A and B are shown apart, each in its own frame.
Chain A
Amino acid sequence: MTPLLATITRREAGIAVIGAVMLAAAATLPLFDTGFYLSLALNIAMYVVLCTAWTLFSGPTHYISLASAAFFGIGTYSVALGIETLPFPLLVTIGFVASAVLAGLVGIATLRLSGVYFVIFTLGLAELVRQVVTWAQTNFTRGVGLYVFTDFTEAHIYWMLLGLAAVVYVTGWLVNRSRLGFALRIIGNDETVARHVGINTAMAKVALFMISGGFIGIVGAFLAPRFAYVEPPSAFNPMISFQVVIMALLGGTGRLWAPLLGVIPFTILFDQISANFPNHTSLVIGIAFMSVVYLLPRGVVGLIEDMRRMKRKFRIVWTDDAALGKDPAE
């Protein structure tokens, strides 16, 4: 067991170094371009954090949450409401705490739900929060738009998002190594078994959902200064929830880094479609989307694994006899 652990650690150390190098490289982008490519990179960074935070919870548990927009909006609103009076870092913290609390409440309320019920519940929740916020603003503040004027440039927001991405990855890694992560993997495979071996499935799920929701709230908080003008339809845009799910699923949810493989190519692809087919975006995105669903059934990560396995198979067939060609990964 110990040598195995040691090798994994070395490999993980390697990954950490590569990750840090990549992050540092990404962080230099604003030095070269502060125009469109920074905007695009910011977009990618935003979805990377969102999708990875989403995968933290949904990857191991297989619960599909459509509540991202609710957490995102709460984060945005925490900043928008307090920007005149409180310092920005405090507002971000408030956004994190408020989103995590909401996630905790949802988690406690939805313990009994699974599968599609959870999906629709979270969707309903996001809409409910949006309606209540709109109604409260209409009746108590008499004005829906809030202005967020700060000195942050896009580069600042981009760097904050990159930093957050690092935090999310480290958190994910820590969770994976902890008892919590182990418990969650068992829950994801078979909840009944998990319960029988004495795992408090409820607590584990709620805790992780809170972490995940909190991070999404922070992204919302970071993004608020970029929009300058915050109103419920944009802060609680349900498309955020859908895009997060879709990009994460396209990348694959089995690994913490898998959403990255969904977000980067698809943000760029969708962007190219918007740029080149402005009058037919829906149609072309739909077609691109369908082809991905059919051609890459297990996401980009599945494709990579298939290729790797194929390579390995060849190597084994070349070196050993056919009897050893059985893939141990299967």
Chain B
Amino acid sequence: MEILITGIVLGGTYALIAVGLTLQYGVARIMNLANGENLVFACFGAFWLWSTFTINPVLGIAIVAPAAFALNWAIYVVMLRPLVNRAKNRGQLEVDSILATFGLMFIAQGIMLLGFGGGYYNYNFLSQPIAILGANYGLNRIVALCAAVVIAGALYVFLTHTRYGTAIRAVAVDPTAAGLVAIDVPRASAFAFALGGALTAASGALLSTFYTFNASMGTLFTMKALIIVIMGGVGDVRGAVIAALLLGITETAVASLIDPGLTLAATYTLFILVLLFRPQGIFGRHMA
């Protein structure tokens, strides 16, 4: 039972890391290798707000997320749209976006190094224990889990029950066809990219309450996010959340029952199994 709860808490964290990338990759078709840097940026942002203005990181999201939205919108329009326009097919865009965001990753790291140096940062926020069924958990992690549920839920409702959300899903399925039914595809893509960035930033602000971070740490998060996004099925928010939870529970179970040294190996084994047997993602449908 304790394994299950710990696993779910961890899975909630992973869901936070991955949900933004699902949108960016699924809708805007940008394989954003700088996703982790975006997250770490937000960690620093939340840290800065907390240490300078004592703004509570959860409220800090209200500042960090819109800022990230604007920044990502600008990145998409200025940097990535030319690539989208010049790409002849999806494969070309994938290669180009990998290269471009790889460069972006370095730039973001460089800026953070200039601003904050290479050292470790963390701060104390809600790190008191909370007892659930006789075992203690960090309150900040529980808060993050609840936020993950709220964010993923809101996103799901937005995508399935609103007009614009439906339009975005249409773009994810087939940009050409979406264009034919009078959806402004470039705008929807930019919106999805920016929203994905904002969600990632919100996650970053929450994660900063219990992770120790430094300027070079983004790639770690990017890896995890990529795995979850692919496992969940590209552009599938529900799938990503399930994949994240599955991963969290597997890791915790392996660490508790077998050997903590094998957690990462377990992650990749699970991932490879999913790819082999359900290459379209956990919930993905077979495409012709």
> Which residues of B from 64 to 93 have beta carbons under 8 Å from A?
79, 82, 86, 90-91
- Report the nearest B residue to A136, measured CB to CB: B261
- Report the nearest B residue to A280, measured CB to CB: B110
Complex Cα distance A287/B100, Å? Answer: 10
The proximity string for A residues 25-41 relative to B, scoring 1 for CB distances below 8 Å and 0 otherwise, is 00000000000000000
> Which residues of A from 123 to 141 have beta carbons under 8 Å from B?
123-125, 127-128, 131-132, 134-135, 138-139
A131 CB to nearest B CB, Å: 4
- Report the nearest B residue to A120, measured CB to CB: B230
Residues of B within 8 A of A287 (CB): 103, 107
A10 CB to nearest B CB, Å: 34
Which residue of the partner chain, among A120, A125, A280, A285, contacts B226 with CB atoms under 8 Å? A120
A37 CB to nearest B CB, Å: 26
- Report yes or no: B275 in contact with A117, Cβ–Cβ below 8 A: yes
**Does B94 reach chain A (CB closer than 8 Å)?**
yes
**Does A16 reach chain B (CB closer than 8 Å)?**
no
- Report yes or no: B226 in contact with A123, Cβ–Cβ below 8 A: yes
Of the listed stretches B138-146, B183-191, B241-249, B266-274, chain A binds: B266-274
Given A120-B230, A280-B114, A297-B96, decide whether A286 and B103 contact each other with a Cβ distance below 8 A: yes
Which residue of the partner chain, among B106, B223, B227, B230, contacts A283 with CB atoms under 8 Å? B106
- Report yes or no: B262 in contact with A131, Cβ–Cβ below 8 A: yes
Residues of A within 8 A of B265 (CB): 128, 131-132, 135
Residues of A within 8 A of B234 (CB): 116
Complex Cα distance A83/B100, Å? Answer: 41
Which residue of the partner chain, among B108, B259, B268, contacts A127 with CB atoms under 8 Å? B268
**Does B264 reach chain A (CB closer than 8 Å)?**
yes
The number of residue pairs between A and B whose CB atoms lie closer than 8 Å in the complex comes to 112
**Does B18 reach chain A (CB closer than 8 Å)?**
no
**Does A234 reach chain B (CB closer than 8 Å)?**
no
**Does B165 reach chain A (CB closer than 8 Å)?**
no
Interface size on B, residues (CB 8 A): 41
**Does A62 reach chain B (CB closer than 8 Å)?**
yes
Residues of B within 8 A of A229 (CB): none
> Which residues of B from 210 to 237 have beta carbons under 8 Å from A?
223, 226-227, 230, 234
A109 CB to nearest B CB, Å: 6
Given A282-B113, A297-B86, decide whether A117 and B103 contact each other with a Cβ distance below 8 A: no
**Does B102 reach chain A (CB closer than 8 Å)?**
yes
Complex Cα distance A289/B269, Å? Answer: 33
Given A120-B227, A139-B261, decide whether A282 and B272 contact each other with a Cβ distance below 8 A: no
- Report yes or no: A289 in contact with B272, Cβ–Cβ below 8 A: no
A22 CB to nearest B CB, Å: 28
**Does B104 reach chain A (CB closer than 8 Å)?**
yes
Complex Cα distance A250/B96, Å? Answer: 10
Given A135-B259, A286-B110, A290-B107, decide whether A116 and B272 contact each other with a Cβ distance below 8 A: no
**Does A257 reach chain B (CB closer than 8 Å)?**
no
Most chain A CB inside 10 Å of its own CB: which residue of B79, B86, B90, B272: B272
**Does A316 reach chain B (CB closer than 8 Å)?**
no
Which residue of the partner chain, among A128, A286, A294, contacts B105 with CB atoms under 8 Å? A286
Which residue of the partner chain, among A131, A286, A297, contacts B107 with CB atoms under 8 Å? A286
**Does B177 reach chain A (CB closer than 8 Å)?**
no
Complex Cα distance A119/B223, Å? Answer: 12
**Does A112 reach chain B (CB closer than 8 Å)?**
yes
- Given A131-B268, A285-B106, output 6 extra A-B contacts at Cβ < 8 Å: A112-B279, A115-B94, A116-B234, A249-B95, A287-B107, A289-B106
A interface residues with partner B (beta carbon < 8 Å): 62, 64, 109-110, 112-113, 115-117, 119-121, 123-125, 127-128, 131-132, 134-135, 138-139, 242, 245-246, 249-250, 279-287, 289-290, 293-294, 297
19 contacts between A and B (CB under 8 A): A62-B91, A109-B272, A110-B276, A112-B276, A113-B275, A117-B279, A120-B226, A121-B272, A125-B268, A131-B265, A249-B95, A249-B99, A280-B110, A283-B114, A285-B106, A289-B103, A289-B106, A290-B107, A297-B96
